[in-house]
Structure 1
Amino acid sequence: MAGNSDINNIMRKFVTILLLPILAGSLVWLGCNQRIVRTKTSGYTLQGAVVKNLDDSTLFAGAIFNRVDSVLMAATVKIGTTALNYDNGVYVKNYDSLKALTAGTYYLKLQDSSRLNDSVQFAVPVDLAIVNIAPDTRIFTSATQEVRIDFLASAGSNGYAYGVVKADSAYQINGYSGFVISQVNSATIPPDAFRNTAGDLDTGWYYIYIYAYSGAPAPTSHMPTSFPPGLTANITRLNLNGFWGTVVISPRDSMHVTSLQ
């Protein structure tokens, strides 16, 4: 069992993108940087996600599970009967096949010796895909007002987000993302997604994704772009609180940004 200094050392290795604040400072977890804060005093904290990536055919689960006074290096963390193994502060599992977690309901089981034996129910949404993109030429110029994408609905999801990133910068915690707020299965991506910090078009090829999420996932570097902030903690129990959920990532579409009219 580690002390407070060990906790701080591990937390610095996690990201600062975990979906809202859960600890008083920034956490760094697996390449994302979303801040989270504890919503109430509790004995245990959980932050994590299942990431089902249809674009690169990978399935990953990762969880930071700790007691407030110590890092848990020997806890039992399972999805069903499959154990997540402790690795440098995170309980992880890289599955061999997307079929290991098909759409449906699952339980994340958490056990800390005789102190805690609990579980968190969660859903894996149905697979989704982008079915239409405009402009259909897949060419974005300074005259383009927006990019619109239509996608298949994903049963079991609580909402959708989109991600946009330059092709050579995917999976590096880069990119532009936002929640889908329309009541239909479409998203409008603003021109800012294709501009640099100076406001100029950042030319080149971009990948575009749709994310279906359930619960309140704390996404990881296994996602091609950053995930938009704004979700609230979905675990607020007497002795356990935090963020847990699933993200299903669509196969990518693309857009070529050019300075030509």
Structure 2
Amino acid sequence: MSWLSGAAALVNAILGNIPMMNKKYVHDPKLVEQLQQFQKQNADILAKYNELIKRMEDQDIDSFEDLQRFDRKGAEVLIRLASQTAPLPMQGRNFGFFGLTSTGKSTIINKLIGKNLAEVGAGETTQEIQPYDGQGYRLYDIPGRNDDLSYFSMEYIAFWKALTARIIVITSTIKEMTKVFRLLDAIQLRYDIIVNKFDLVNLEEREKVKVQIKQEIINCKLQGVNHIWFISAENPRQFPDWINMIDYLTNK
């Protein structure tokens, strides 16, 4: 998936124009009108984003860390563009779940909604950004194999800024999502971390793993962490952090 197709998939998801799990299409004329107006109002900044991404492609740069290392001016441009980017005009409470393949994002979403809507299984099951509606909120399942450059598009940054909460799902180490953490820190957006499949960690090792994750956050100098929840989406009642997470999301 190219950065351009990744951005297009995001826009389609927010507009409700991608196939849902029930194979139907959803069209929201009001939201379509809002996004069209958003794109029109931001035509100049969109062109600057495209110019920056082309520059990154030419240098084979696909992370903010590399952008800082090899093109400091480009990093400064990105931060400036992000600060000028308005959030997408999304209604209500919206939560985005980001994570690598098989971290359990879809299982978490199914448990939160109370229905098996998001496809789960071994390997990558989420091929496109999928929105799922709950009681008064919308959850977005973000593909684990999305092209890194798409994260630098105006659409993605506007999407991130519009989310009520950005939730990063990992299973064993912060390093799984370092690129995303670095970018969110750079554009000054806060986020929450879920350590899923915690039931697979041996009982005597669990406290050690908690300390390890928290130490990694310190070592990586992550700036935007709000909460860290250690959970098992397969067995939600096994760990109290599941209830803590729900309370937070419910009252967000």
Check whether TM > 0.5.
Answer: no
Q: Which structure has the larger Rg? A: 1
Q: Give the helix-richer structure, 1 or 2.
A: 2
User: Which structure shows the bigger proportion of residues in strand conformation?
Assistant: 1
